[in-house]
Amino acid sequence: MSVDPTVWLQAKELLAHSSGWPMDTLHVVAGVAVQLAAAALLRCSLAEWRPWLAVLALELANEAHDLWVERWPSLPMQLGEGLSDLVATMLLPTLLLIVARHRPALLSRRP
């Protein structure tokens, strides 16, 4: 039994159309949501690398899947869009990691 490789792409398009949010916004939201979920599942702080690495791994898998399934007329344009998605997804998780590691008081009232 094989799974249709376009199912993930169709699911993302359904989410984008039903939410009314552009795909870039979904990348930003998903990055933070995955980081928070990973920290909760791993029972660790956002100051640790593991939640951030979970976001990176899933985003790289997502972009690899997009390259495998989608066929753009211009490969450089497709790669550029993938890089843009990577930056959009990782920007806030990276900021949260840095703040949690170097200025944790900004995230909590505890000393």
54 in a structural domain: yes
> Is 90 within a domain?
yes
Residue 97, classified by CB atoms within 10 Å of its CB into exposed (0-12), middle (13-18) or buried (19+), is buried
Tally of CA atoms within 13 A in the half-sphere of 19 that contains its CB: 15
Residue 52 lies in a domain: yes
In a domain, 98, yes or no: yes
Let me know if residue 110 belongs to a domain: no
Share of the chain above pLDDT 70, in %: 97
Element (H, E) at 41: helix 23-42
Asked, for residue 12, whether it belongs to a domain, the answer is no
Q: What is the pLDDT of residues 33-56, one digit of tens each?
A: 999 999 999 999 999 999 999 999
Query: What's the predicted TM-score (pTM) here?
Result: 0.89
Q: Are 34 and 90 in contact (CB under 8 A)?
A: no
CA distance 101 to 50: 13
Quick check: 11 and 3 in contact, CB under 8 A? no
Q: What is the mean pLDDT of the chain?
A: 92
Number of structural domains in the chain: 1
Examine the pLDDT at 109 and tell me if it is beyond 90: no
Q: Is the pLDDT of residue 59 over 60?
A: yes
User: pLDDT tens across 94-103, in order?
Assistant: 999 999 999 9
Range of the domain at 50: 45-102
